[in-house]
Structure 1
Amino acid sequence: MKNIIIASTSTIHGGAYLEYILPELSSHFKDCKTVLFIPYARPSGISHDEYTAKAAAAFAKINIAIKGIHEFEDTAEAIKNAEGIFTGGGNTFLLVTQLYQNKIMSALSETIKNGTPYLGTSAGSVICGLSMQNTNDMPIIYPPSFQTLAVIPFNINAHYLDPDTQSKHMGETRETRLKEFHVFNSIPVLGLREGSWLEVRNNKIIIKGGLQARLFMPNEAPLEIDNNSDITDLK
């Protein structure tokens, strides 16, 4: 029943917001007149209204209206009745905190599993995994739990960056951080590079966007997985 797009980013270098993936979204939300937007992640601290207006401007290009979840008194009911749902990026700690505080983490998970078309970008993609533990964000607020939607059986590291061999920066690479995670956790982690996404139809998961993804497993060397690969059995 699942019908999900899990995108590493909302914006690729030199492009407008969601521009690179709009053709895909036009098909993904083809039966929707209005999509429910979850602006809780608030990138750069913008307001819910400002963020919703940004999403609405992008979706207007494919003739779909956007309605912010913060405009509803009953957020759980808004999720259950939504024709489609989009959770934008920003700070994952804030997003997860708000989903728990509004008591809609479970409702969102069940609605997605029941087939309502869903789009996540960045933080909105991270929450599709089993936990939010592989986010790149600062812990600006403390969520009640790191457990998230679990609509896929692994975790996402959005905006995955390969080590820059020309850089003089001596800090930890993304790969180093993910190895640290696997000292204490057994959950597989998929690094999604900018411009790539996962297409989830029913229980089938395919890598899209023309780029390879990088898979991290405990006690194993990282593995490059080709575009259009089926990773349904990854767990």
Structure 2
Amino acid sequence: MPGDVLLLSNSRPPGGAEPFAHAREVLASHLGGRAVWFVPYALADHDHYFAWVRRALGDGIDLRPLHREPDPAATAARAEAAFVGGGNTFRLLHDVRRLGVLDALRSAPDCRYTGSSAGTNLACPTIMTTNDMPIVDPGGLDALARVPFQVNPHYLDPDPASTHQGETREERIREFHEVNDVPVVGLREGAWLHRTGDHLALGGNTARLFRREQEPAELVVGTDLSWLLPRPTSS
């Protein structure tokens, strides 16, 4: 059975609460008791980012800086748990590919994976449903495929009072489905997806499920989405 996966929409909860305050319980159950290698490449200042997340998570999680390892790829290949932070998804994919960390994580399916924002995008088959600007060419859009569907973190509902004339998030996902037939889960702020074994559930906040040629479905906290996962094969 592949390692469990926790995919957070965001690290900073609404209302000015402490980082990860909305998800402390699920993070503790998902990562506690393991050496957790933090992957900071979505932001430019790796040391500052690691220190910020380390303080936010507290002493209950053994967080370690992957970027300080002499061979990050070799460490990632042996990791029992990895936490991939947010920032710019294109920079993240570019750097993990360049450093060999992408292939290392692919070769370690039992590694317990946590992603936030850009780190959540990296867990999908591709990064096509990120909200980020392509500030660097990542050498391809294929990602880890730790889940078989796409996620749109920081999902925003259309605001009928807005004067913005560009595409809404919903319209952009519909554009994605004009040429792709992969479900997309739009995670609102404070929401997460937690896969344990062959079970997948929504936690923290509501979300929306988008499928090609179907109307979006509203998802409440606790919704069982296990049907989105591949069925276990019998031996």
Quick check: TM above 0.5? yes
Please give the alpha-carbon distance, in whole angstroms, between the structure 2 residues aligned to 1:192 and 1:165: 20
Which residue is equivalent to 1:21?
A: 23
Which residue is equivalent to 2:232?
A: none
Alignment partner of 1:149 out of 144, 153, 169: 144
Please give the alpha-carbon distance, in whole angstroms, between the structure 2 residues aligned to 1:189 and 1:207: 13
Match of 1:135, as an amino acid?
T
Residue 161 of structure 1 aligns to a residue in which SS?
coil
C-alpha displacement at 1:62, in angstroms?
A: 4.2
Alignment partner of 1:81 out of 60, 78, 82: 78
Structure 1 segments unaligned to the other structure (5+ residues): none
Which residue is equivalent to 2:132?
A: 137
Match of 1:184, as an amino acid?
V
Please give the alpha-carbon distance, in whole angstroms, between the structure 2 residues aligned to 1:4 and 1:152: 8
C-alpha displacement at 1:161, in angstroms?
A: 0.3
Alignment partner of 1:159 out of 138, 154, 157: 154
Moved over 4 A (4+): none
CA RMSD of aligned residues (A): 1.5
C-alpha displacement at 1:83, in angstroms?
A: 3.6
Please give the alpha-carbon distance, in whole angstroms, between the structure 2 residues aligned to 1:223 and 1:20: 24
Residue 57 of structure 1 aligns to a residue in which SS?
helix
Matches within 5 A, 1:31-50: 31-32=33-34, 34-42=35-43, 45=44, 47-50=45-48
The answer (yes or no) to whether the contact 2:33–2:62 under 8 Å persists in 1 is no
What is the number of residues matched between the two proteins? Answer: 227
The answer (yes or no) to whether the contact 2:210–2:216 under 8 Å persists in 1 is yes
Which residue is equivalent to 1:176?
A: 171
Which residue is equivalent to 1:224?
A: 218
Matches within 5 A, 1:55-66: 55-59=53-57, 61-66=58-63
Structure 1 stretch displaced more, 185-194 or 87-96: 185-194
Structure 2 segments unaligned to the other structure (5+ residues): 230-235
Please give the alpha-carbon distance, in whole angstroms, between the structure 2 residues aligned to 1:223 and 1:99: 33
Which residue is equivalent to 1:11?
A: 12
Match of 1:54, as an amino acid?
W
Which residue is equivalent to 1:69?
A: 66
Which residue is equivalent to 2:49?
A: 51
Please give the alpha-carbon distance, in whole angstroms, between the structure 2 residues aligned to 1:226 and 1:109: 31
The answer (yes or no) to whether the contact 2:37–2:66 under 8 Å persists in 1 is yes
The answer (yes or no) to whether the contact 1:22–1:62 under 8 Å persists in 2 is no
The answer (yes or no) to whether the contact 2:5–2:146 under 8 Å persists in 1 is no
Alignment partner of 1:185 out of 155, 180, 187: 180
Structure 1 stretch displaced more, 166-175 or 122-131: 166-175
Match of 1:3, as an amino acid?
D
Match of 1:178, as an amino acid?
I
1:95 and 2:92 are equivalent in the alignment: yes
Query: C-alpha offsets along residues 165-194 of structure 1, whole Å, 9 cap, x if unaligned?
Result: 222222210001111111111111110010
Please give the alpha-carbon distance, in whole angstroms, between the structure 2 residues aligned to 1:27 and 1:203: 17
Residue 66 of structure 1 aligns to a residue in which SS?
strand
TM-score for the superposition, normalised by structure 2:
0.91
